Amino acid sequence: MAGRERLICASDELVDGGPGVRFEVDAPPEEKVGSGGTALAAFVVRHQGRVHAYLNRCGHIPVELDWQHGQFFDSAGLYLICATHGALYDPASGRCVGGRCNGRGLTALEVTERAGTVYLLEG
């Protein structure tokens, strides 16, 4: 059985190497506090024509990556960069490619794009 889809944004909001769109996801059970749960920051970007989504937290320490709201790419638009420590990540895989991430990549989220809309796949 297919999981649920949640609307993130219109496709035209994402330009290759440009600003991303922030959204929130439910924390996994091991990160929930008490019965209230926790929302985690996430983002979606476009790279080489495809959309990719990740939790918005550095592999080094759990700080948000964006250096300004929705700005995740380095100045050349080639890598995702942590504004706090300068760690670099491959936008297509979330893999650590340099800096203080010490080989720890980003946590990928499953997304799909169709009919001009980007969706998060849940469940």
Architecture of domain 4-122: 3-layer Sandwich (2.102)
| Residue 3, pLDDT score | 75
Sign of CA dihedral 90, 93, 98, 99: positive
10: which 2 tokens?
């219109």
**What's the mean per-residue pLDDT of the chain?**
90
Residue 38 pLDDT level (bands cut at 50, 70, 90): confident
Which sequence spans correspond to the domains of the chain?
4-122
The pLDDT of residue 61 is 85
- Region of 91 please: left (phi>0), alpha (psi -120 to 50) or beta: alpha
Task: Please name the residues in contact with 64: beta carbons below 8 A apart, sequence gap of 6 or more.
Answer: 41, 56, 57, 58, 83
What is residue 87's predicted lDDT score, i.e. its pLDDT? 92
pLDDT tens string 51-89? 999 999 998 888 999 989 999 999 999 999 999 989 999
Indicate the pTM of the whole model: 0.90
